[in-house]
Structure 1
């Protein structure tokens, strides 16, 4: 949405005179700023955007939003290009809310402990068959990402799909007050960010902030809730709006049954308002069926006939490193889910592995699950025990507290030579290259900071050559 620099100054209540020029976009990254964009000089823990103000102005920025102290010291020659404010992050959020209100369209907000990015991508893909949709790029879901998404709104956009995340109480409420969603989707609540919360109930309270802050500017808001998650189901209590539920269990308004895995994804039967039909999602596991059900429920709340989006769901393409399925020569299958991990998400992928038909061996490359606080060792041990109970043949634990995955697996009785630990992903990748053989099913999953994409990249590149496929346990296993 094109604004004038003077209009931005008025919205931000800045009284200093500014140039009258068009603002074609906004950025907080000096490296990616394009001519005509407005630069917000954010002061962060590692970098201070004020250090790059002169540079971005030389490169054609429409102007810069800066702290008052910087403006006071700035040369008079560039002051007309600067908008002084008390705090630049707050200014970014204020302008974003202004743009959102000026646009005035329907906005779907999505949160949850797991699956929110995949669900966001699904909703946007399904709605794009009918509407021009703006969606959060990647996982731009925090106090910077949400405003930047809103600032990309154009009058031609008919619906916006925005992901909201948090690491502390009150953050989702703040984001919802900026984005003003009138439809809120909560995928689930689980044990994530326990480094910052004292219990899963506290996490649920933080997630509920989305439902509590839905906007009624366009009429009665709608909450789309996971009926199978008891904590999320309770979000309907006291909510003065429409409630649409989804899930696999009896009682969900949009219910998935008869889930059937196959090499390229999963099929399921959908029962819901005005629909009884079989659907396919090209992603593995019942948890991705739940994500699909959330997406179908959300598009239904937008007035879309869910039967009409069956082809779009069947051809959906997720973001990289999220439930990707790679089939390699020698009938080797890689499940690449290495973008992130937590105990609940890991358990769901273990269930997916156990239900997979036709695998010679099941190999799990399990990276450390971060931000679990003092409960981390036991949560990792529990995953190790669960892996052995589910029949996994080999376990490769990677980095930090993942060593406790190996400990848990040994406690559950796995052969010590089939459960190994590496302190880094590169070493684990080299080990896996020698381990994986024909017919194997390999799950690669861990928190983003473990960099397990190195494992996936090495396997897909090396094993794409059938002559390179080996079978057995490498020597010098840790």
Structure 2
């Protein structure tokens, strides 16, 4: 809150009646959730009543917790009898009072407030704008997608006096809602993203919905919109006049012209301002939705006074925005895209874009329900069919009564089911095998049943991979190198346990230059999964030469004999092959040494079939300052070896030496390419930028059973665990066969349940582990975090005397991998 208030002041603002103490407490926080009150003595609890809950029922327990002030309905029967324990503010309607209090707090904020509305993109524009502005000054913004009648006031309470700007999104589902939000927010600057089919059932027409949304800007000084959204532009022009509009377009003639040019791995946006000055932005997006959203961000940032160079800096550091798209392994080698509970045409577009970015399967399948919040179903379902055709969907599974209208326009194979129950019963008849399946539908269709039926049944334990966190880490390291420096990403050992095919595909989408695997069969698997990037094989053997040739893989050559064997093979086959030379400058594992270079020169001349793609070396101790001098000596020796060998070549191969730690410690030696490994997966081993990376994986399992034991009872094999007092143990569904190291036994390891640490008790078993959960109120089926946000891999590794690499790569293949964008 911008200003703390006494119960008496709050009572005056909401025009209520005060019972109990009036001045004892100073309120600085507002809560509607009894589970999230951190400082009860300074929190106002607002008892809201909804269709399935009544906040008044939590008042007794919150009194015991120490909450000192409550906003309740004036017919709350217990207020008078318990008012000696806390302040009670009685009002006719607690929702209205919540709005009044938020409006008062908003009136205290004198800096710009940006209000965002539209059918899609509100949250993304808000988050990206917040990130861009946040690099220059403190910014308040709505958490997640808090844009409702309750979410907006709660967002306002998050504004602080020190914030230089606030960014709030406002969403509505029916008429009469926006004027209430406008009374709270009163944005100086507005952004109208677009208009679509979401919540259309709450409005007589699309025009009525547009008018309702535009009410947010009744008192705005400026409103930003895109001219290509003609209905929005015309309505705002009629409503506000030309002076209050800031219009951008792909074409000249508006306040800002923002023209897009797409390259293979990014896009450039050419900005022309009213004074005819020009600036080019580089953005890491290619899909149309993101390109529109980022242009709204650019215009809003310019309106708020940022220079284009500052905006570009912010764009270069954009973080992931929460989305509800999850990749999961399915039955019969299928891959599922879980987009359940999305029920909007624009959302379907995004999901289909995401689908198109995945590695190819035999068929593209979409399982889609009725869209329940559309005003003109015939038009919407025709557009759905057009979208499916555009994205080359092979098979549509339609569920519901109204979606039949889409089938008449869809030219591919299709099946119709009246309801989800019928679909689940008939799934086996659909013969899904090696298909890419998008599952998306309205909440009431409960498509989670479909996902559950189609998921691969491997194991109850899952490794969740956050693809947006991976993107964040990749971009962090990319920001540390020069624009021309290439990136080779290490996806050996099943991508450090994360699952090579999906991670490699994501890296391919991000524009990585090279991949590296340990063995030839790993490279073959990536090629069979549709990966096109160049792939370096670190440990090839003679038996794999035919596969190297067949799948266009590039082997590392580390010895004279191996060079000769490979050269003869290529000559006999009448083929050429790209190879990589490993120079030993101090690792003393594999590789050519300086004394071998003269003979190597001769072999290079003798076997022109082998083209040197790159030369590289391994740094021994780049992660530790203690080895600085040795690392520099390695790097200088490597450069000398490269120069010596290049005298025998008519071309210049790529040079690379830096691993993840080397990228941050020795940027002056980045040369032509760097090799990104453990850093991509969220572990910054040098310790210099640990807070800048995000863990990409979370290993989770569930509680199988909870037991009550007496003091002195023993647990597990060899009776190694022993209860010091009466308490509880929980058995979880993970053991050393899953990769949970046996060295975590007997208290060395711990997990998180409900955010609390629970130590391992007894020995880790093959398939199960026991925990001491005394006092944690753990139940069967509760989620257990083995590692991820909240549990550092570094800490776990240090507890058992190993390194994070080992923990990551030891995760068994029987553990199901799930990929998601958050």
Give, in whole Å, the separation in 1 of the partners of 2:140 and 2:326: 24
Match of 1:371 in 2: 372
Q: 2:206 aligns with which of 185, 194, 200?
A: 200
Structure 1 residues 323, 120: closer, same or farther in 2, change over 3 A? farther
- Aligned-partner SS, 1:75: helix
1:26 is matched with which residue: 10, 30, 43?
30
Moved more, 160-169 or 299-308: 299-308
Aligned residue among 393, 407, 415 for 2:413: 415
CA contact (8 A) 1:367 1:450 kept: no
List alignment gaps of at least 5 residues for structure 1: 215-220, 472-478
Q: Is the partner of 1:181 in helix, strand or coil?
A: coil
State whether residues 206 and 375 of structure 2, in contact with CA within 8 Å, keep that contact through their aligned partners in structure 1.
no
Maintained 8 Å contact 1:27/1:40: yes
2:292 alignment partner in structure 1: 290
What residue is the counterpart of 1:230 in the other structure? 230
Q: Which residue of 2 aligns with 1:475?
A: none
For residues 295 and 102 of structure 2, the distance between their equivalents in structure 1, rounded to whole angstroms, comes to 30
> What pairs with 1:383-422 in structure 2 (closer than 5 Å)?
383-388=384-389, 390-397=391-398, 399-400=399-400, 404=404, 408-409=406-407, 411-416=409-414
Q: 1:175 aligns with which of 168, 177, 181?
A: 181
CA shift at 1:351, angstroms? 7.0
Paired residue for 2:89? 83
Distance 1:323 1:416 in 2: 23
Equivalent of residue 277 in structure 1, options 273, 276, 280: 280
Count how many residue pairs are aligned between Structure 1 and Structure 2: 453
How far off its partner does 1:358 sit?
8.5
Partner of 2:695 in structure 1? none
- For residues 204-215 of structure 1, what are the structure 2 equivalents within 5 Å? 204-214=210-220
Distance in 1 separating the partners of 2:336 and 2:267: 19
Which of the pair has the greater relative contact order for Cα pairs under 8 Å at 6+ separation?
1
Corresponding residue for residue 239 of structure 1 = 240
In the TM superposition, residue 252 of structure 1 has moved relative to its aligned partner by: 4.3
2:14 alignment counterpart = 12
Change (3 A) 1:325 1:223: farther
Q: Which secondary structure does the structure 1 equivalent of 2:240 belong to?
A: coil
Q: Deviations over 1:319-361 (max 9, x none)?
A: 332578999xxxx99877666342244356657877x698566
Contact 1:195–1:371 (Cα < 8 Å) also in 2: yes
Kept in 2: contact 1:110–1:186 (CA 8 A): yes
- After superposition, the C-alpha distances for 1:38-74 in whole angstroms (9 at most, x for unaligned) are 1011122222211211221211213100112226753
Structure 1 residues 335 and 122, CA gap change in structure 2 (3 angstroms): farther
In the TM superposition, 1:108-127 aligns within 5 A as: 108-127=114-133
Q: Look up the SS of the partner of 1:279 in the other structure.
A: strand
Does 1:144 find its partner at 2:137? no
After TM superposition, give the deviation of residue 228 of structure 1 in Å. 0.9
Partners in 1 of 2:227 and 2:122 — Cα distance?
Answer: 16
- CA displacement at 1:390 relative to structure 2: 4.5
Q: Hey, what's the Cα distance between the residues in 2 that align with 1:353 and 1:262?
A: 18
Distance (Å, rounded) in 2 between the aligned partners of 1:23 and 1:262 = 54
Match of 1:303 among 302, 305, 310: 305
**1:343, 1:369 within 8 Å by CA — same for their partners in 2?**
no
Within 1, Cα distance between the matches of 2:252 and 2:437? 33
- In 2: Cα distance, 1:279 partner to 1:441 partner: 32
From the superposition, tell whether residues 106 and 378 of structure 1 become closer, same or farther in structure 2 (CA, over 3 Å): closer
SS of 1:388's partner is helix
Structure 1 position 117, deviation (Å): 1.3
How much has 1:300 moved relative to structure 2?
1.3
Match of 1:153 among 148, 151, 159: 159
Could you say which residue in structure 2 is the equivalent of 1:217? none
Are the counterparts in 1 of residues 327 and 337 from structure 2 also a CA contact under 8 Å? yes
Candidates 54, 58, 76, aligned match of 2:64: 58
Contact 1:425 1:455 in 2 (8 A): no
Deviation track 1:355-393 (CA, whole Å, cap 9, x = no partner) reads x69856672535335433574476335413541354223
1:157 counterpart SS class: coil
Q: 1:258, 1:425 → 2: CA distance? A: 46
- TM-score scaled by structure 2? 0.49
Distance 1:280 1:421, change over 3 A: farther
SS of the residue aligned with 1:46?
Answer: coil
Give the unaligned 5+ runs of structure 2: 457-461, 465-497, 502-521, 530-822
SS of 1:278's equivalent in the other structure is strand
User: Secondary structure at 1:195's aligned position in 2?
Assistant: helix
- Return the offset for 1:423: 2.0
CA offsets 1:87-131 (integer angstroms, 9 cap, x no match):
111111111111111232211100001111111111111111112
